[in-house]
Amino acid sequence: MSSDNSVLRYQANEKPPLTVSFLLGLQLTALSISGTILVTTVTMRAGGQSEAYLSWAVFAAVAIGGGITILQALRFWRFGMGHLLMMCSAAVYIAVSIEALRIGGPATLATLVVVSALLQFVVSDRLSLFRRIFTPVVSGTVLMLLPVSILSPIAGMLQDVPQAGAQIGGPLSALVTVLIICGFTLKATGAIRLWAPVIGVVVGSLVGALFGLYDTTRVAEAPWVGLPALQFPGLDLRFGHVFWSLLPGFVFAAMIGSIRAISNAIAIQRVSWRQSRAIEFREVQGAIATDGLGNVLSGLAGTVPNSSISTGASMAQLTGVAARHVGIVAGTIFLSLAFLPKALAVMLAIPGPVFAAFLFVMIGILFIIGVQMIVQDGIDPRKGLIVGVSFLFGVAFQSGIVYPEFISTFAGGAFKNGTTAGASIAILMTLLMKVGGTHSSRLETVVELSSLSKISEFVQKFASSGGWNEAMGERLSAVCEEALLTLIEQESVKESGEQKLILLAKKDGKGVVLEFITTSGEGENLEDRVALLAEQAEQYPIEENLSLRVLQHLSASVRHQKYSGVDIVTVRVEP
């Protein structure tokens, strides 16, 4: 992995100036908070709730979104991922939440949200078991479909022009916003490029204000400081018919939320470092667990569940700032606005066409990140089929051109959302590809030199049963030897003593895939070390990292996935 993000000004662990962090955080907050208020308001009003309860639900959603955004930028035990990952009320829950409010009321909604959130903790804790389902193909397809799913709301925002305002104001303010953001991003250099989104939104809003599109009345009427009356609904622990009939819909929504969290966590890692790195799956687990924590809090508060959104990755790609400090600042602003209705009104008064134009640029970048994720994982005819079919069906379901009468009622209408439909199809096709595939041979041993003879005997027998010649058997033995030596060299093994090793061998086309699964350590990622060998060749003698160099020479590829509790090294060997 060579350096491929040289335009990045501030990577994840660097701290930009406070003014940069504040203005970028303000933009990210404006995007997140508008979606949070919109989703919550639509859900509560459609669910027949009072204005008093609506005020409480919006306050709780904004406060929780801000607090969880801060936690995502940090790392606390198994929560947070240490990157810029914004939170927002999740639209995937709208349909099932409305149904829960109509039938059972806020207490039923609260119970269903809390119970379904437990699934996200399971996914986070056992993510290594889901690795064959939540693949880069599935995650990349989800990222490609997210823009498709919000094109309709964006189109509605483009038309959000008061009747009293000049109709030309909407298109003009949107056009100015897009031209300025793209123009500054493409042509500007240095620090000015960081301000492209800010300048675009401010100038677009000023143009909109000339045509009466900026809602100054909302700002004037909002109080400076305010707190709604407490409306905690409590939990309905009777678990009656209503609960069980609605639970599958909430569980499915939680699963889609987990997939989105995985996709967004991988996307922000891809753009957060100047030097490309292997994906740190322990951070992905932290992102999912934090999503789940946010949903437990949302349930207890009786508001709509939240989910991570991908604007952080888009903003990092656009501005060259991926610092986690921006996430802390954005989360702080987000949380503060829950108690400052006047400041909240200033942001919400930004004209709809300007917001839409800004979002249009952001989702275009997001689509490309999804494509890059799929391509970097390696594309073959089977993966290409999964991406193509899932994406087209997602677009078709979102557009309502595939049996709309049936889709609108099936699973509570969840499949009307293109991301939900496309992700489900991608998962099903991925599972289908795995079913009936080549069976893996398995060996259990320990990460010690004494295991070499046992491992060698195992792979020699595997090669013989697979019809390979003696040379291939020797090659597999050599790969296993160097992989074991490299694992033993890890400091975590030296300090913790004996670690369990599971070796899986599977035929894949003309080659063999070996998986070394060990109890987790805190050492370096071997995939990153392999990528750096070529760059270090002239700096360090060949004796250093000798086992890793031999492993690189003997194998077609090396991939290292580090989870909490489990390390998985996957090596592909060609004849």
Which of 28-37, 454-463, 556-565 tops mean pLDDT? 454-463
For 207-236, letters b (16+ CB in 10 Å) and e give bbbebebbbeeebeebeeeeebeebebebb
Quote the pLDDT of residue 523: 60
Lowest mean pLDDT segment, chosen from 88-102, 187-201, 439-453, 471-485: 187-201
Same domain, 260 and 408: yes
The percent of residues in the chain predicted with pLDDT above 70, rounded, is 89
75 burial level (CB within 10 Å; 0-12, 13-18, 19+): middle
In a domain, 449, yes or no: yes
Quote the pLDDT of residue 343: 78
Task: Retrieve residue 446's tokens.
Answer: 């320990």
* Across 523-534, average pLDDT: 58
Same domain, 200 and 317: yes
Quote the pLDDT of residue 333: 92
Quote the pLDDT of residue 496: 56
Quote the pLDDT of residue 295: 94
In a domain, 80, yes or no: yes
Same domain, 449 and 422: no
Lowest mean pLDDT segment, chosen from 64-68, 181-185, 337-341, 552-556: 552-556
pLDDT at 51 over 90: no
- Residue where a domain stops, chosen among 410, 434, 458: 434
Lowest mean pLDDT segment, chosen from 1-15, 134-148, 206-220: 1-15
pLDDT digit string, tens, across residues 301-312: 999 999 888 778
pLDDT at 6 over 60: no
In a domain, 215, yes or no: yes
In a domain, 3, yes or no: no
Quote the pLDDT of residue 482: 83
pLDDT at 179 over 90: yes
Quote the pLDDT of residue 544: 46
Which position has the higher pLDDT, 456 or 139? 456
Residue 299 in contact with residue 96, Cβ under 8 Å?
Answer: no
pLDDT at 288 over 90: yes
d(CA 88, CA 36): 5
- Residue where a domain stops, chosen among 434, 465, 500: 434
Quote the pLDDT of residue 539: 46
Lowest mean pLDDT segment, chosen from 58-72, 214-228, 261-275, 387-401: 214-228
In a domain, 9, yes or no: no
Task: Retrieve residue 43's tokens.
Answer: 């859900």
Torsion sign (Cα): 359, 364, 369, 370: positive
Instruction: Answer yes or no: pTM beyond 0.85.
Output: no
* Across 140-167, average pLDDT: 76
The percent of residues in the chain predicted with pLDDT above 90, rounded, is 17
End-to-end CA distance of the chain: 24
- Residue where a domain stops, chosen among 434, 461, 488: 434
pLDDT at 215 over 70: yes
Quote the pLDDT of residue 313: 84
* Across 412-439, average pLDDT: 77
Same domain, 330 and 463: no
Which position has the higher pLDDT, 384 or 185? 384
pLDDT at 324 over 80: yes
d(CA 40, CA 61): 7
Which position has the higher pLDDT, 358 or 495? 358
Same domain, 390 and 464: no
Same domain, 418 and 550: no
d(CA 119, CA 305): 13
pLDDT digit string, tens, across residues 82-111: 999 999 888 778 767 887 888 889 999 999
pLDDT band at 538 (very low <50, low <70, confident <90, very high): very low
Quote the pLDDT of residue 1: 43
Same domain, 368 and 298: yes
Quote the pLDDT of residue 547: 61
Quote the pLDDT of residue 522: 60
Q: What's the total number of domains in the chain?
A: 2
- The secondary structure element, H or E, covering residue 257 is helix 241-270
User: Nearest-CA neighbor of 463 among 558, 575, 568?
Assistant: 575
Same domain, 388 and 537: no
In a domain, 50, yes or no: yes
Task: Retrieve residue 524's tokens.
Answer: 């370096």
Same domain, 424 and 480: no
Quote the pLDDT of residue 113: 94
Identify the CATH number of the domain in which residue 478 sits. Answer: 3.30.565.10
In a domain, 375, yes or no: yes
* Across 307-320, average pLDDT: 82
pLDDT digit string, tens, across residues 230-266: 888 888 888 888 888 778 778 877 887 888 888 889 8
Same domain, 93 and 139: yes
Query: If you average pLDDT over every residue of the chain, what do you get?
Result: 82
pLDDT band at 412 (very low <50, low <70, confident <90, very high): low
In a domain, 132, yes or no: yes
Which position has the higher pLDDT, 212 or 416? 212
Residue 536 in contact with residue 518, Cβ under 8 Å?
Answer: no
Domain containing 513: what range? 441-573
Lowest mean pLDDT segment, chosen from 266-280, 336-350, 373-387, 531-545: 531-545
- DSSP code of 562? E
Same domain, 499 and 536: yes
Same domain, 318 and 416: yes
